[in-house]
């Protein structure tokens, strides 16, 4: 599967109101993008894709990284509301519920609902 031979510190084009502008990816965002690209490419390959354009891979990996960061921010918020400095699995599950995940987490953050019975944890 070809993902386009990306380079470290490359320029990514993003649309502006009237023209394209370029911004530099750097630091931790660059690492997150690289990991997201690998994960997205592996998922696409496992689903039967033979290849795709570099711009499609970058877009899908950007959406994936933003989704994971949003879940993390939400989980961090729930941990802070509970007076904790670190998140636990229940904070992450609540974050997934907030994001509208369709993977069967509905109600899993309730204290009367057992995580083991949700079918997600095996």
> Could you give all domains of the chain from N- to C-terminal order, each with its CATH number?
11-118 (1.10.20.10)
How many secondary structure helices (H) and strands (E) does the chain include? 3, 2
pLDDT digits (tens, 9 = 90+) for 22-75: 444 445 678 888 899 999 999 999 999 888 889 999 999 999 888 888 999 999
Given this model, what pLDDT does residue 110 score?
Answer: 59
When pLDDT is cut at 50, 70 and 90, the band that residue 81 belongs to is: very high
Question: Residue 121: is its pLDDT beyond 90?
Answer: no
> Mean of the pLDDT values across residues 107-114?
58
Question: What 3-state DSSP class applies to 112?
Answer: coil
CA dist 41 and 67 (Å) reads 17
When pLDDT is cut at 50, 70 and 90, the band that residue 106 belongs to is: low
Q: Which of 5, 3, 21 is nearest to 13 (CA)?
A: 21
Question: Residue 15: is its pLDDT beyond 80?
Answer: no
């Amino acid at each position: 599967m070809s993902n386009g031979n990306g380079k470290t510190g490359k320029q990514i084009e993003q649309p502006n109101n009237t023209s394209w502008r370029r911004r530099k990816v750097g630091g931790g965002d660059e690492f997150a993008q690289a990991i997201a690209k690998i994960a997205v490419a592996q998922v696409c390959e496992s689903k039967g894709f033979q290849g795709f354009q570099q711009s499609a891979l970058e877009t899908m990996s950007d959406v994936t990284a933003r989704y994971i960061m949003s879940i993390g921010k939400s989980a961090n918020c729930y941990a802070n509301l509970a007076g904790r400095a670190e998140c636990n699995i229940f904070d992450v599950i609540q974050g997934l519920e907030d994001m509208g995940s369709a993977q069967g987490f509905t109600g899993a953050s309730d204290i009367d609902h057992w995580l083991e019975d949700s079918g997600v944890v095996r």
